[in-house]
Amino acid sequence: MDEIAEVEPLAVFERWLDEAWKGEPNAHAMTLATATPEGRPSARLVLLKGFDRRGFVFYTNLESRKSEELYANPYAALCFLWKSLNRQVRVEGAVEQVGDDEADAYFASRPRDSQIGAWASDQSRPLESRVLLEHRAEEFSRRFDQGTVPRPAYWSGFRVVPQRVEFWQERPSRLHDRWLFIREGDGWRRQRLFP
């Protein structure tokens, strides 16, 4: 990657993600980093479920630890690592909750067992035993045995609205390529960084 021809980062990201899918079974896995109001960081892997010019979307229980941290401090960082390509993408930006229509549409596209799982799990809260979780899943499966499974009110998505996007390509002798895009108004400023 001597040069990036694209003038905005989402075009580069889309190209790299398409290439990553050829060698990475979970190319949409990304590390999501949040912070408490006191500035204590926490990170976990989540799955990218959509992206466009507005940002990068993932879904979760709105009562989970990550959601609580995002409500208190609505900024996040994402990191994609595609080892088969020796590439990394970092994204930083403000976070907003997706609209109900968008969350409903995505929830309806999920496998039924995953929909039931969203009802059964009190995500991030203590669980007495695996048996209890399986019992809850059976209960909700019976409750919604006919028709569609509605989206729980406590389940939705967040969009990370990118302000900074960095692309890293590994090179020999640690002379890596790094390109940084910084949002400026409606456009992007692009610059190369030392490795």
Sequence-ordered alpha helix ranges (H) in the chain: 9-20, 65-72, 100-109, 112-120, 130-143
Q: Is the pLDDT of residue 44 over 80?
A: yes
69-83 average pLDDT score = 97
DSSP 8: S
Structure confidence by residue, pLDDT tens digits, 137-147: 999 999 999 88
In the annotation, is 174 catalytic?
yes
Per-residue confidence band for 6, with pLDDT thresholds at 50, 70 and 90? confident
Dist CA 181 CA 134 (whole Å): 45
User: Of 65, 174, 178, 190, which residue is the catalytic one?
Assistant: 174
Residue in 123, 42, 27 with CA at minimum distance from that of residue 77: 42
Q: Where are the domains of the chain?
A: 9-108+153-193
Task: Classify domain 9-108+153-193 by CATH number.
Answer: 2.30.110.10
Q: Stretch 90-101: mean pLDDT, rounded?
A: 98
